[in-house]
Amino acid sequence: MSLLVLGVDPEFRFDWSSHHGKDGIEFHQCSIDTFFDSIDPAATYDLIFVDGLHTFEQTYRDILHALRHSHPCTVIAIDDTIPCDVFSTSRSLDDCVGMRYSLTRVADSRWHGDTYKVVPLLTAFNNDLRLITLIDAGNPWTLIRPSLAQRPGAVRDQERLPAPSIHRSAQSALAGASSTPLR
Ligand SMILES: C[S@@+](CC[C@H](N)C(=O)[O-])C[C@H]1O[C@@H](n2cnc3c(N)ncnc32)[C@H](O)[C@@H]1O
């Protein structure tokens, strides 16, 4: 049977090894960077769901990996782009839950980190991509269709930037993000 579903997580919380390799399902217990470094550079996937570390830097890296392994009909779905409140934007789960409880007395563990920053970041630096954020009664997702890209070189240009300069560029993009219309 060909591969149908593949999951990557450094720390699965279930008995993944007894399901690995069966019914077209694979589990890879490693970081997403290690996984993408290990696969065939030409491998592509139909649907890529990004729901990992809740920092915008890692989520942005995950999206760049996903774009590199996309074909024209791939859909990339990004979780955690709509924080539920200001506490949920903390970069640590403990800070999020602790500050929410100490200021509101509400015991609620919902946490999205600063993943939301990837939306203005992609809008500023990968502006050939079309993003759609779905907000309904369920969990909001931002969707990317790489086939909508107008300039295929844009992702490669972004990857050539050294990490500190991505970070600096991100900071300045985020500073001006409120005036940048979302596509
Ligand atoms: C919010 S949970 C979501 C898990 C899963 N998508 C689900 O819905 O059950 C985030 C997961 O990201 C994993 N994670 C953290 N850092 C990661 C990384 N560098 N690469 C891949 N996964 C990572 C964590 O172990 C955790 O299980």
In a domain, residue 46? The reply is yes
Atom of ligand 1 at shortest distance to CA of 12?
Answer: 27
In a domain, residue 96? The reply is yes
**Cα 50 to middle of ligand 1, angstroms:** 9
Question: Which pairing describes strands 70-79 and 141-144: parallel, antiparallel, or unpaired?
Answer: antiparallel
Q: Model's pTM, two decimal places?
A: 0.80
Residue 28 confidence (pLDDT): 96
Residue 181 confidence (pLDDT): 37
In a domain, residue 125? The reply is yes
**Cα 12 to middle of ligand 1, angstroms:** 8
Atom of ligand 1 at shortest distance to CA of 52?
Answer: 12
CA distance 66 to 60: 10
**Cα 182 to middle of ligand 1, angstroms:** 27
Mean pLDDT for 65-70 is 94
In a domain, residue 12? The reply is no
Amino acid (1-letter code) at residue 60: Y
Residue 86 confidence (pLDDT): 97
In a domain, residue 7? The reply is no
Q: Is the CB of 52 under 6 A from ligand 1?
A: yes
Q: Is the CB of 66 under 6 A from ligand 1?
A: no
Structure tokens at 90: 């903390």
Q: Let me know: does 158 contact 125? Beta carbons within 8 Å.
A: yes
**Cα 110 to middle of ligand 1, angstroms:** 14
Q: Let me know: does 131 contact 144? Beta carbons within 8 Å.
A: yes
Q: What is the residue range of 119's domain?
A: 31-179
In a domain, residue 25? The reply is no
CA distance 73 to 146: 7
pLDDT in tens, 14-63: 999 999 999 999 999 999 999 999 999 999 999 999 999 999 999 999 99
CA distance 37 to 108: 36
Give the angle subtended at the CA of 166 by the CAs of 117 and 68, to the nearest 5°: 85
Give the angle subtended at the CA of 83 by the CAs of 124 and 61, to the nearest 5°: 45
- Structural domain total, the chain: 1
In a domain, residue 19? The reply is no
Q: Is the pLDDT of residue 126 over 90?
A: no
In a domain, residue 11? The reply is no
